[in-house]
Structure 1
Amino acid sequence: MGECGRNLHVEAELGSDGVRTKACKRWVWRRLAVGALWLTAVLGVAGRADAQENRATQAADSDEIIVTAAKSPQRLSDAPFSVLVLTSDALDRARIQDFEDLTTIAPSLTITRTSQPANTSIAIRGIGTYAFTIAAEPSVAVIIDGVSQSSQAAALTSLIDVAQVEVLRGPQNSLFGEAASAGVVIITTAPVSDTLTGRLDVLRTDDGEERIEAMLSGPLSDDLGFRIAGGFSEYRGGLYNLATRNWVNGQIDVNIRARLEWRPDAHTVFAITPHWTRTDGTCCTAAETFLPVGASTGGAATGPDRIAPEVFLEGITPAPDNRFVRMDVDPRGDAEDAGAALHFEREGPGFVFTSITSFNEYRLEDLQDTDSTAIDFSLYQSVSPSGGSANGGRFDITSATQELRINSAGSGPWQFVAGLYASETRSRRYFVRGSNALDDYNTTTPVGQPGAPPVPASLPTTNGTTYSRYLAHAEAVNYAIFGQVDYAVSDRLDLFAGLRINQEETSYRFDDLVNGVVFGSPRCSSASPSGTPISTCSDETAVTGRVGARYRPSPDLMVFGHYSRGGKGVAYDLTSILTTRTPTSATSAYPGRPLADVVASMQPVPAESIDNFEIGFRGAFWNDALSLSVTAFHMDIENLQAQSRDLLLAQNILNSVGRVTSEGVEAELTLQLDRLTVQAAGAYVRAIIDEFPNASCYRGQSPAEGCVGGVQDLSGRTLFNAPEWNFAVNAQYDHPVGAGATVFLTVGYRWQSDVMFSLLQDPASRQSSFGIADLALGVRTDRWRATAFVHNAFDTSHSLNAGRSAHINNPPGAFATNWRPARDADRYWGMRLTYQF
């Protein structure tokens, strides 16, 4: 492969190897582009008019739901794996408008919001990402129109012009790569229409949410068509900041998606699909729900003169339903996502060739109030800048992908899909923990002492957090060959097997901008500045796959079983831990060396692996009026990547913590009568930590509560935000009233059991079980629709996150708590108007 293929790496902007690095990138993508064009040309010539019927058209003739989870069109009734399919009608009935809304009707899917969008964890069956670094892979892949999103945060936006969503549960690495170790969410937008069509959709609620979406599609000529959709949405947020007089935890989205499609003949399709999204968010902060007597705020910055609640919580009464905060910095998560994909499909004699080339850029600027108050700490510490402390910075993620795939076509006993895949993802994180303006916090000259050296100032926090500023670069280059074969042994029995061989090259550079220390320069360096052995590059080959069988005892019933092997790659902890220059103790592996260097020597964190077993059935009953699917599963996860306590270093670091088991049952039901449609889904998921002996303690945990020597044993405890029981049901009754109009009533209800929002099992993070009911009443014709709706009809309060307040000093035996209310934590109502032609 040569030096470029072996040692691809992104250098910092001041790196000396930048020219060679850029040349290496051009070498890789030039080879991929030439290969794609060559294969496209060869297969284009091979296509002919007598090619066999396209499988997608063949499947669609059955009027069944078609899924793409196997990288080829397949009837849902034939899918031998656990998948929940949500059509555009199902999404509309459940009023699914944002990606996060999917959790309300997909029981095995959960989303955990933390301090800012990039730290959001998307999980399936309780398995998600527990490491918030740019050099760790997600566990759940999000695929939009065949292209994997390079960052989960990029998916946290409005869903516009969506035709179908598929939630695949369990490892999907063999077809979708290492980012799909726990599952995949596939989003397919609507296709280009044969005639000119359009739609305008407007929504408004009584609590400050506004949306407007528009779509236009149709032919430009006999062989050229287009589709463009755009949307604007705004929600003010659920908390009010008394200091800035702004609502927070809200979001403004602007989305544009387009598709230009050219069909030069009956067997060839070219399409380009650009997109652009702008998100201005005020996520995420929490409001105080309880404050013990004697609590205060302020740390080393205020000395013994702690600040009383009547000062830092002026105008706020902590209570379970408190919606007020007082901070001099509003949280911010402003993102921009832009990219495009080029799709090519050519039908030949017995095969369909597909090429998907994509490029994407994602940027996020974040800011959070570290001290969580509006106090001017310079009044207590003269060397401090005015105001308080904040942390944040910027994420820049650039990705490019190329997939070449061949699918069989026709009705023979052998069906296959085979392909090549390559991707390059470059991530950059600039981070500051300092003043409110993200300026230096420890370069202030003491008052009255001109010319004196700067005095390090303590940040105004209660947990000893120190000033830091760093720039981290990470790169991951993947090459893969994959395939799956299905063989029809008989009319009733099918066998299938899939395999993926994936080579991943990862590397990083970390610049500690405060101490002037650099890890990873020169690239792939094997020693830190102190001479400690480290590794800043990794090159690993992983083999994943699946094998199983599908059997039809009758035309309306299919049973299946399969085993799949998955996992995700190594990780690097590129966080502020690498800015800590405190010498380590004599018990560490390198006594007296800086802590950051010793932590770097322990990386990369080993890869995760998952073994998954599934059995289930799909059936159609009552002349296809009722469809039912049930899947039982058992997953074993080894080397779970999560924060743990290193006893020798006495630090919380990213590490492999042991083994996790997730097992349970998932079920879906659809009932379609003349006027009544019912869709329900439920899951029982038991996600248990089998081994986690050196977990960190939660804040304030006592020895009586299991914290000994700064660690606790979490073996046998549940994963965070993983409800054991979860179900959702939506029903709609249609009643024609004449003149082409139909009145409809929609009722929805979802319920989940209690969860812990903290992996460390903080009892203050417990969310009790709850249920939410939604109602809608409307009237529609072929052209227009008007809907009035009530969400959370019984006003059931619930949260997105909860826990102990880190910025508050607690008296012995007590602790302050906070919560982050969910979007629908209160009842609200609204109107929606739709016009289409």
Structure 2
Amino acid sequence: MRSTSRPDSRIALLLASAALVSSTARAAEPVARHRHAAAAKPPSEENIEVRRAHPSFRFGAAQHQAATVTEYSGADLVRLGVTKATDLQKIAPNVSIMSMNGTQTTVYYIRGIGMSDFTQNAMPSVMTYIDGVPYPVSSMSAGMLFDIATVGVVAGPVGTEHGLADSAGEVNIRTNDPTPDWHGGVSQDIASYARSRTTLYVSGPIAPTLSFRIAGQTEHGGGWQYSPANATHLGNADMGALRAKLRWTPDARTTVQFSAHWLQDDSQTIAVKPVLNSLPSKPYPSLPYQEANWSLKPAFARLIGRPASLYPSEHDTNWGADLNVAHDFSFATLQSISAYETERIAEYTDQDGTKWATGDTYRSIWANSFTQELRLHSRDDSAALQWDLGATYNRIRMNTNFFGDSTDYLPLRGYMLQTHYHQDGQTFAQFAHLSYRLPGRVSLFGGINHEANDQQLLGLNTKHIGINSLSFADEGANANQFSGVLGAQWQATARTMLYFKVSKGFKPGGFTANNTVVQSQLTPYKPETLLSYEAGIKSDVIANRLRLNAAAFYYDYHDQQYLGTYVVPSFGPLGRYTNIPKSEIWGVEFSADIHPFKGFYIHQNLGYQRGKFQDFQSSNTAAVYAHFQQTGIWAPFYTSYNGYDLGQPKLTLNGSADYTLQPPGPLSVETGLDWSYRGAQALTPGGTGVYMLPSYFLLGAHMTVRPTHGHWAATLYATNLLNRQYYTTGGSYTVTEFWLPGPPRFIGGRVSIDY
């Protein structure tokens, strides 16, 4: 399941050129290769496919992979207005990607599997890879969606062919590599609310065996919210990023590539919209959609060491470097990826969306990640036996300070707090994958991953400013588990493939850390596992005219990691991660690519999923508050949610339609629409009313003019063309339930020049 819009812009041609040049280091490509799939095709058919041009339907290799892989080119992302991680949910079925409280902290869900982790101290359920490097802290990959070659979303358990094991899937981003000849370009994008986005790149040779590429991006403005309490706008971007690559090919069998990147993000965040207030003494007004409030008391500003004029905003610095070495032996290719990533996060948010100090938060995170992967994979793609063998090591070091201001939460709290801790973690994974092609175009495949994970939570201390200081014993969490896959695929015809597989997913456990008041809050939650059954078909029904793919899946889900409520006697309810013993998820996915006549292309994804809790007892927050109001005593009340829906959007739709007109003369015109629909999402088990985000539908449009023979393009576009009012995610903090609004209509123009 993937995009197939044709690369008819100059930008797309340059991206394709860079991808072709990088083919000597093919193993570095982050999308899982599923070599057993490629082996299912006989050598004669493979040769034909290499020689033939496929201008309508690209990413033909994915048609022979026994997995749901949604893949787009960098030119596709530009055309669809995908500029940040949360936009990726517009391009794949059964995918939800959400910003936590308007920040750079991003939460991924694939097929209902994900973890809402604001603290960023847990391994994500969906791993992000950039150029083959895993990002175990999602905010480390923020701001990197520029100068992109391809993006791939892989659904289902992973980890038997590269990287680390995970329960939900992975997002694979491959950036453009250096080219042996000179290329360069610049793009200027200006849109509503004074938003400006500039991207540029230059690539070329330094010596016969040495080439380079430098790319950068800046973004400013775009603040579409207004705060009547502060008489100012909110949400302006202030971000700059650079990426540099150096590529050395000392011989025809060896490629050495060094990459480095840097990001500085001082952007304002979007304020949440309060929808329910449980503190009647601090009422808040009902504001129009594009209005929101915030507050920062001078005492809290002094505590966090920031100016009292601070807006809700980021002050983030991310940088990293990696070394990718591949050598082609006569029997196999050996690849080594060494990477170091670091982030310095300083982030202020107002999580009640009011002028009251009941939910002001500030966090600072200093974290680094070191990864080393070694992988050996078979060299002859035409052989019946294909194999991969490797190991990945990851180490994380993290120092976190979390501050909260609840001085207006009276009479219960009325103080400011600080929680500080240090966390160390390391993971060592070994993986192997085999496939064997039998007669009759049938292939059997299997893979295994063994992963050992060790985490330590050290020196946690909570200060209630002016009241007390609480220190807690260190905690540890260990996991040592196997995951894997078994399956078969059948290349029924040259253009139709069917597959079935059973796989086990695994995700390590961890800790709840922020706002700790009793030791029992730090009890580690357990790893989660799931057993996945998936069947699918991929077919180019009519070559270059009609492609139809479909998959169905069933998940037997155990120990789902979930942010629930823990009632602390004499204090009240606090969030704590826990495990849901048993759940189930099932669903279907479809994609269609249609090219009925010259110049006209349609792409459509559809995902439908259902899930329910089968064994789940949880604290009933409404009952807890009701009991406290009657008695003044905090006491837990539990409700069985067996049979309740998991709450993830049941239906997702996204697609696009494009038409290119080639009138007489030197110019061509492309016009198109893109759309996405996401169903309602429950924020709590069985949630309704304010605990249920409404469904929404978004429509975009674009029109591009470019010369038939030239190096420039001019585009007019609109996002959220219908100016819908919608909400992307929600949550709660102290006395407030809130929703996070999505951007209104943006109308913009973009001019690009490439050579």
TM-score, normalised via structure 2 length: 0.83
CA distance in 1, matches of 2:239, 2:49: 36
Pick the aligned partner of 1:561 from 500, 525, 529.
500
Deviation at 1:118, TM superposition (A): 6.5
Pick the aligned partner of 2:247 from 261, 276, 279.
261
CA distance in 2, matches of 1:725, 1:771: 11
CA distance in 1, matches of 2:451, 2:661: 54
Aligned to 1:398: 368
CA contact (8 A) 1:100 1:156 kept: no
CA contact (8 A) 2:123 2:136 kept: no
Change beyond 3 A, Cα 1:176–1:339: same
CA distance in 2, matches of 1:640, 1:204: 43
Aligned to 1:787: 715
Residue 182 in 1 paired to residue 168 in 2? yes
Residue 832 in 1 paired to residue 755 in 2? no
Deviates more, 1:330-339 or 1:341-350: 330-339
Aligned to 1:716: 643
CA distance in 1, matches of 2:585, 2:720: 30
Aligned to 2:314: 333
Aligned to 1:452: none
Aligned to 1:628: 548
CA contact (8 A) 1:421 1:480 kept: yes
Aligned to 2:5: none
Aligned to 1:382: none
Q: Deviations over 1:19-44 (max 9, x none)?
A: xxxxxxxxxxxxxxxxxxxxxxxxxx
Pick the aligned partner of 2:584 from 641, 661, 668.
661
Q: Deviations over 1:605-660 (max 9, x none)?
A: 11111111100010012223222211101112211122334579675432212222
Residue 766 in 1 paired to residue 719 in 2? no
Q: Deviations over 1:307-337 (max 9, x none)?
A: xx5xxx5xxx615625242534632222211
CA distance in 2, matches of 1:283, 1:64: 43
Q: Deviations over 1:48-74 (max 9, x none)?
A: xxxxx9x99998656569x99xxxx98
Pick the aligned partner of 1:219 from 180, 205, 229.
205
CA contact (8 A) 2:126 2:169 kept: yes
Deviation at 1:163, TM superposition (A): 0.9
SS of equivalent residue, structure 2 residue 526 = coil
CA distance in 2, matches of 1:156, 1:667: 29
Change beyond 3 A, Cα 1:508–1:62: farther
CA contact (8 A) 2:359 2:733 kept: no
Residue 171 in 1 paired to residue 110 in 2? no
Deviation at 1:131, TM superposition (A): 4.4
Residue 574 in 1 paired to residue 513 in 2? yes
Pick the aligned partner of 1:511 from 450, 460, 469.
460
SS of equivalent residue, structure 1 residue 717 = coil
Aligned to 1:500: 449
Aligned to 1:598: 520
Q: Deviations over 1:400-437 (max 9, x none)?
A: 011111111111101111112111111111122248xx
1:647-658 correspondence runs (5 A): 651-652=573-574, 653-658=576-581
Q: Output the amino acid matched with 2:176.
A: A
Q: Output the amino acid matched with 1:472.
A: Y
Deviation at 1:465, TM superposition (A): 6.8
Residue 349 in 1 paired to residue 271 in 2? no
Deviation at 1:173, TM superposition (A): 3.0
1:462-611 correspondence runs (5 A): 464=413, 466-512=415-461, 514=463, 517-519=470-472, 528=473, 536-577=475-516, 580=517, 596-600=518-522, 603-611=523-531
Aligned to 2:69: 83
Q: Output the amino acid matched with 1:318.
A: S
Deviates more, 1:207-216 or 1:245-254: 245-254
CA distance in 2, matches of 1:757, 1:735: 45
Identity of aligned residues (%): 21
Q: Output the amino acid matched with 2:204.
A: G
CA contact (8 A) 1:244 1:330 kept: no
CA distance in 2, matches of 1:780, 1:353: 43
Deviation at 1:597, TM superposition (A): 2.6
Q: How many residues align?
A: 682
CA distance in 1, matches of 2:661, 2:359: 59
Change beyond 3 A, Cα 1:228–1:159: same
Aligned to 1:39: none
Change beyond 3 A, Cα 1:360–1:416: same
Q: Deviations over 1:309-368 (max 9, x none)?
A: 5xxx5xxx6156252425346322222110011010111102111110001101211123
1:240-255 correspondence runs (5 A): 240-255=226-241
Residue 95 in 1 paired to residue 81 in 2? yes
CA distance in 1, matches of 2:46, 2:255: 14
Change beyond 3 A, Cα 1:362–1:640: same
SS of equivalent residue, structure 1 residue 192 = coil
TM-score, normalised via structure 1 length: 0.76
Q: CA RMSD in A?
A: 3.2
Aligned to 1:32: none
Aligned to 2:268: 282
Pick the aligned partner of 1:751 from 667, 677, 680.
677
Q: Which has the higher strand share?
A: 2
CA distance in 1, matches of 2:401, 2:476: 20
Aligned to 1:47: none
Deviation at 1:771, TM superposition (A): 1.7
Pick the aligned partner of 1:683 from 607, 610, 613.
607
CA distance in 2, matches of 1:61, 1:510: 61
Change beyond 3 A, Cα 1:290–1:333: same
Find the structure with the greater CA-based Rg: 1
Q: Output the amino acid matched with 1:409.
A: R
Deviates more, 1:55-64 or 1:678-687: 55-64
Change beyond 3 A, Cα 1:118–1:788: closer
CA distance in 2, matches of 1:89, 1:392: 37
CA distance in 1, matches of 2:246, 2:48: 24
Deviates more, 1:679-688 or 1:460-469: 460-469
Deviation at 1:207, TM superposition (A): 2.4
Q: Output the amino acid matched with 1:228.
A: I
CA contact (8 A) 2:644 2:685 kept: no
CA distance in 1, matches of 2:135, 2:349: 25
CA contact (8 A) 2:295 2:360 kept: no
SS of equivalent residue, structure 1 residue 325 = coil
CA contact (8 A) 1:784 1:835 kept: yes
CA distance in 2, matches of 1:330, 1:619: 52
Deviation at 1:211, TM superposition (A): 0.4
Change beyond 3 A, Cα 1:408–1:753: same
Q: Deviations over 1:785-822 (max 9, x none)?
A: 111112222222211235778557xxxxxxxx754320
CA distance in 1, matches of 2:624, 2:286: 20
Pick the aligned partner of 2:222 from 212, 236, 242.
236
CA distance in 1, matches of 2:625, 2:373: 50
SS of equivalent residue, structure 1 residue 571 = coil
Aligned to 2:560: 640
1:370-385 correspondence runs (5 A): 372-374=353-355
Change beyond 3 A, Cα 1:95–1:284: closer
CA contact (8 A) 1:565 1:609 kept: yes
SS of equivalent residue, structure 1 residue 154 = helix
CA contact (8 A) 1:116 1:366 kept: no
Gapped runs of 5+ residues in structure 1? 1-52, 299-308, 378-387, 436-457, 520-527, 529-534, 581-595, 809-816
Q: Output the amino acid matched with 1:200.
A: V
Deviation at 1:391, TM superposition (A): 2.5
